[in-house]
């Protein structure tokens, strides 16, 4: 029996619990899974025999709280310690200043010998090596497919499907909001108007700084550098130029030359950057809309391109589910 704790119960946390309930028959092929704990910023619910998923989801929808018990200033680790769990599913907000609560929760779980699945970019973009070392020292599995590209399977593609290949580089579109804005600018819309539309459609945050300044993409580039290239970097090592200074004139000039401008994250053994690039029309990275896309250059397989939804409730939850099943298989 594997017991899971879901930390952070917003878009992704709720999506995971929904998926665990919906995919019960698929999961049962790999063993028994029970969710024994859940917490949000204000409340928590812990039950060693398993929480009632549907009632927790209903409670959150109706009251904004996942549990009846008040946190009353308790730290995440205090609540984790009350629960009986084997794997922590970390879905609290990304904090790229100091890793926030997510980093503390992950460190605490690993130090207690628990496996960790996280979609939270902050801890991985800041403390990847420390967390990997802690996981190795304590015999824990740490997986984080959903932290880069949501449903687009880039990390496990490189580490598992392409195992044996030398990965020479990864170039990708890792932020759907920026790609949406640039796609709208291709059709003649000014930057500010495209940004406003992205916000109205719910693609961009009210404060879109992390997206348009390239910081969100840089987190993903740092994670890939560590996870795929075995480098020891943080987001501070990534050279970053965002899309907020791109003019309509630049877009028009690119179009005259049969090109588009896209925000590309590039990672290899020596490169680590995020910047707007000229991309020939028809190239896989000239994609329009909110999709994420990555081109993985390998030594013998040539370029391998993967594309998918970089965000969303069920999309991100699907990446967590694949990590969860991988953990269940390994622990069987
Ligand atoms: N949304 C996506 O499509 C997507 C895609 C890939 C990766 N991610 C990553 O997934 C994580 C979650 O994203 P989200 O969209 O689900 O965010 P969200 O909707 O804002 O949900 C965040 C959840 O974390 C809870 N929370 C805040 N502080 C907490 C704390 N100290 N302890 C425990 N819980 C806390 C919030 O509680 P309340 O409910 O009480 O406010 C909320 O339930 C982020 O790190 C994000 O970068 C998201």
How long is the chain?
Answer: 332
Q: What are the tens digits of pLDDT across the range 195-217?
A: 999 999 989 888 899 999 999 99
Ligand 1 and 76: CB distance under 6 A: yes
> Which of the listed residues 9, 12, 109, 151 should we mutate to test ligand 1's pocket, taking the one with most ligand atoms within 8 A of CB?
12
The reported pLDDT for the residue numbered 218 is: 98
Selection from 34, 47, 227, 268 nearest residue 135 by Cα: 227
Catalytic residue among 114, 121, 213, 220: 220
Residue 248 pLDDT greater than 90, yes or no: yes
Give mean pLDDT, residues 47-61. 97
Separation between Cα atoms, residue 278 and residue 250, nearest integer Å: 10
Distance 52 CA to ligand 1 centre (A): 21
Nearest residue (by CA) to ligand 1, atom 44, is 93
Q: Please work out whether the CB of residue 11 comes within 6 Å of at least one atom of ligand 1.
A: yes
In the chain, which ranges are continuous DSSP H helix? Answer: 11-22, 24-27, 53-63, 76-82, 100-111, 121-137, 155-156, 176-186, 191-200, 209-212, 215-229, 248-256, 313-331
pLDDT tens digits along 67-107: 999 999 999 999 999 999 999 999 999 999 999 999 999 99
Q: Which residue's CA is the closest to the ligand 1 atom numbered 18? A: 10
Q: Using an 8 Å Cβ cutoff, are 42 and 76 in contact?
A: no
Q: Catalytic: 220? A: yes
Give percent of the chain above pLDDT 70.
100
Distance, in Å, from the CA atom of 139 to the CA atom of 150, rounded to the nearest integer, reads 26
**Residue-wise DSSP of 157-224:** IIIIITTTSPEEEEEEE--HHHHHHHHHHHTT--HHHHHHHHHHTTSS-SS-HHHHTTHHHHHHHHHH
Q: In the predicted model, what is the mean pLDDT of residues 98-120?
A: 98
The confidence score (pLDDT) of residue 61 equals 97
Tell me the average pLDDT across 216-235.
Answer: 98
The whole-number average pLDDT for the span 243-254 is 96
Does ligand 1 lie within 6 Å of residue 17's CB atom? Answer: no
Find the mean pLDDT for residues 175-195: 96
| Ligand 1 pocket test, candidate residues 38, 40, 314, most atoms within 8 A of CB | 40
Q: Evaluate: CB of 314 within 6 angstroms of ligand 1.
A: no
Tell me whether strands 142-143 and 115-118 are parallel, antiparallel or unpaired: parallel
pLDDT value of position 103: 98
Spacing, Cα 12 to ligand 1 middle (Å): 7
Mean pLDDT, range 233-254, rounded to an integer: 97
Q: Is the CB of 149 under 6 A from ligand 1?
A: no
At 206 the pLDDT is: 82
**Domain-by-domain residue ranges, the chain?**
2-150+313-331, 155-309
What are 3-39's pLDDT values in tens digits?
999 999 999 999 999 999 999 999 999 999 999 999 9
17 within 8 A of 35, measured Cβ to Cβ:
yes
Give me ligand 1 centre to Cα 76, in Å.
14
Give the class (CATH, top level) of 2-150+313-331.
alpha beta
Averaged pLDDT score across all residues of the chain: 97
Q: Residue 40 CA: which ligand 1 atom is closest?
A: 34
Is-contact 67 37, C-beta < 8 A?
no
Looking at the predicted structure, is the pLDDT value of residue 169 above 90? yes
CA of 11 relative to ligand 1 center, distance in Å? 7
- Once rounded to an integer, what is the mean pLDDT over residues 281-303? 97
Q: To 5 degrees, how large is the angle CA 284–CA 212–CA 268?
A: 50
Count other Cβ atoms within 10 Å, centred on residue 249: 8
Q: What is the pLDDT of residue 173?
A: 98
Q: What is the CATH T-level fold of the domain 155-309, as seen in this structure?
A: Dihydrodipicolinate Reductase; domain 2 (3.30.360)
What is the mean predicted confidence (pLDDT) over 239-253? 96
| 111 within 8 A of 134, measured Cβ to Cβ | yes
Give distance in angstroms: CA of 92 to centre of ligand 1. 4
What residues contact 203, with CB distance under 8 A and at least 6 apart?
176, 177, 180, 290
Confidence (pLDDT) at 205: 82
Side by side, the strands of the sheet bearing 33-39 are 69-70, 43-46, 33-39, 2-7, 87-90, 115-118, 142-143
């Amino acid at each position: 029996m594997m017991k899971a704790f879901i930390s952070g119960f917003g878009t992704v946390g709720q999506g995971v619990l929904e998926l665990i309930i919906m995919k019960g028959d698929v999961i049962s092929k790999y063993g028994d899974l029970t969710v024994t704990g859940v917490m949000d910023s204000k409340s928590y619910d812990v039950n060693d025999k398993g929480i009632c998923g549907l009632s927790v989801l209903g409670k959150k929808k109706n009251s904004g709280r996942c549990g009846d018990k008040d946190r009353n200033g308790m730290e995440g680790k205090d609540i984790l310690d009350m629960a009986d769990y084997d794997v922590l599913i970390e879905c609290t907000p990304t904090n790229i200043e100091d890793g926030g609560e997510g980093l503390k929760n992950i460190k605490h779980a690993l130090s207690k010998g628990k496996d960790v699945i996280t979609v939270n970019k902050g801890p991985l973009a800041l403390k990847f090596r420390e967390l990997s070392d802690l996981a190795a020292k304590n015999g824990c599995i740490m997986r984080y497919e959903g932290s880069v590209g949501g449903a687009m399977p880039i990390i496990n593609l490189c580490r598992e499907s392409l195992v044996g290949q030398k990965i020479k580089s990864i170039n990708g579109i890792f932020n759907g909001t920026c790609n949406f804005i640039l796609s709208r600018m291709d059709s003649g819309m000014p930057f500010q108007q495209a940004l406003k539309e992205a916000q109205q459609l719910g693609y961009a945050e009210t404060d879109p700084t992390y997206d348009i300044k390239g910081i969100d993409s840089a987190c993903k580039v740092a994670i890939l550098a560590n996870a795929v290239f075995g480098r020891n970097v943080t987001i501070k090592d990534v050279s970053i130029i965002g899309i907020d200074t791109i003019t309509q004139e630049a877009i028009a000039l690119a179009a005259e030359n049969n090109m588009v401008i896209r925000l590309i994250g590039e990672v290899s053994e020596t490169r680590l950057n995020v910047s707007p690039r000229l991309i020939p029309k028809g190239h896989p990275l000239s994609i329009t809309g909110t999709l994420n896309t990555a081109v993985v250059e390998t030594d013998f397989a040539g370029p391998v391109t993967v594309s998918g939804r970089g965000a969303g409730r069920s999309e991100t939850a699907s990446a967590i589910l694949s990590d969860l099943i991988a953990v269940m298989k390994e622990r069987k």
